[in-house]
Amino acid sequence: MNSAITFAAQARGYAKAAKDLEDRGQPERARELYLKAAKLYNDASMNSTEGIDRNTQRDLAEHLFARAQALKKSPAVLSSDGNTQIKRDSTNNDDSSLSKDDVFLKEIPKTGFSDIGGLEQVKEEIRKAIIYPFTHKELYQMYGQKAGEGILLYGPPGCGKTMMAKAAAKECGAEFISVKTSSIVSKWVGASEKNVKQVFDIARQGDRSIIFFDEIDSIASRRSESEDYAKRVVNELLAQMDGVDTASDNLLVLAATNEPWAIDPALRRPGRFSKLVFVPEPDLDAREAILRIHLKKRPLDNDVDIKHLASITNSYSGADLAAICKEAADIPLGEALRGGEARKIRLEDFETVLQKRKPSIVSWYIEARSAIQKTGEEEVFAELLQK
């Protein structure tokens, strides 16, 4: 039997057992099984050959992991009236922090730069900042160049920042540790900072690792505008990044955000996220590659030229293009469901969709320019202002 199918079947069994235990009031045992199920779904995603199945299994892994995190035991005490209450302790609780088993969303990605069409300038920036320090370590040491500085990918939503990060990990054969920022934040005082430290500690145990923080603005906002607990998280992140030494750690750090101007400026200084790489909407080659992926298994009429479709979808994000393909296919599907003859997708179907669907990132550029002007960092984000 296919290993991915085996892992997924085992995961379903653990998840069902965990739900039964949770319903019977046994949260600690349920949490253990939820984590096992999440780990198995993650293993299934790494062994799956189908992109849709792989994404679904990853989503299930993340959902079950979040469920396990929600079931972490809180100490109970008796109140003065004899009723059981949850103790609101202001000190750190060890059970609230991440364990090695918790940070399980690891993989060596299967998608490399050759699988991503276009965006060659972005790829080269990533090679210089991330890949070469791993693959040409001796040269970096020879010329006294410090490796290990982080890279921050930013740009409009739906344009492939996460995909670029995964491709970078594959190019240098590194383990890709995807950190969901929601798993970092804890209600316990001091636990969020400890979670940040443990992510780095776990990554250092691998032969070669890349830590990826998605939506990092949610845990690394400007300290001048943050509450005390958020300031402590940023301070710990600064300390950990200052302590990254690729020569001994074999560790690099990536992050992605749609709002780079919201991140604390100290994180964007040399030695931390030293390199800011703008990931724009897909160019012509990238749009053609994306369209081919989403139309590969859909029946197309002879009048559909994918290169032509790419040329008339300028300024559309990758997510937009995926939606366009789906909505164009919905037109003949709807006709067939109403009793019409099943037919292939025609060019006119795409044209009908494009008349109604405009690029989703236009509003993002407007908001970005406004936010940048408020922060006074026009020079830092000059690429955005030129759009």
The three-state DSSP-derived secondary structure of 126-175 is HHHHHHHHHHCHHHHHHCCCCCCCEEEEECCCCCCHHHHHHHHHHHCCCE
pLDDT score of 214 more than 90: no
pLDDT score of 363 more than 60: yes
Q: What is the CATH number of domain 284-356?
A: 1.10.8.60
The partner residues of 178 in beta bridges, in order of sequence, read 212
The mean pLDDT of 99-118, rounded to a whole number, is: 66
Please give the CATH architecture assigned to the domain spanning 106-278: 3-Layer(aba) Sandwich (3.40)
Distances (CA, A) of 64 to 14, 192, 320: 10, 20, 29
What angle separates helix 228-242 from helix 191-204, to the nearest 10 degrees? 20
What pLDDT score was predicted for residue 158? 86
Task: Work out the pLDDT band at 305, boundaries 50, 70, 90.
Answer: very high
The mean pLDDT of 114-130, rounded to a whole number, is: 81
Q: 187-207: per-residue pLDDT in tens?
A: 676 778 888 888 888 888 777
CB 186 within 8 A of CB 195: yes
Question: 48 vs 114, which has greater pLDDT?
Answer: 114
Question: 354 vs 165, which has greater pLDDT?
Answer: 354
CB 101 within 8 A of CB 68: no
Domain ranges for the chain? 3-72, 106-278, 284-356
Q: 304 CB contacts (<8 Å, ≥6 apart)? A: 295, 345, 346, 347, 350
pLDDT score of 85 more than 70: no
What angle separates helix 318-337 from helix 284-295, to the nearest 10 degrees? 30
The mean pLDDT of 337-365, rounded to a whole number, is: 93
The mean pLDDT of 108-115, rounded to a whole number, is: 78
Q: Count CB atoms within 10 A of the CB of residue 325.
A: 21
The mean pLDDT of 271-299, rounded to a whole number, is: 88
Per cent of the chain over pLDDT 70 is 83
Question: 222 vs 189, which has greater pLDDT?
Answer: 222
Structure tokens at 344: 């292939």
Which of the four CATH numbers 1.10.287, 3.40.5, 1.20.58, 2.30.29 does domain 3-72 have?
1.20.58
- Over its C-alpha atoms, the chain yields an Rg (Å, rounded) of 23
The mean pLDDT of 269-282, rounded to a whole number, is: 84
Go through the chain and tell me how many residues it has: 387
Q: 300 CB contacts (<8 Å, ≥6 apart)? A: 344, 345
DSSP summary character for residue 116: S
CA 220 to chain centre: 15
Task: Work out the pLDDT band at 321, boundaries 50, 70, 90.
Answer: very high
The mean pLDDT of 169-196, rounded to a whole number, is: 78
The partner residues of 373 in beta bridges, in order of sequence, read none
Q: Count CB atoms within 10 A of the CB of residue 33.
A: 22
What pLDDT score was predicted for residue 246? 47
What pLDDT score was predicted for residue 245? 54
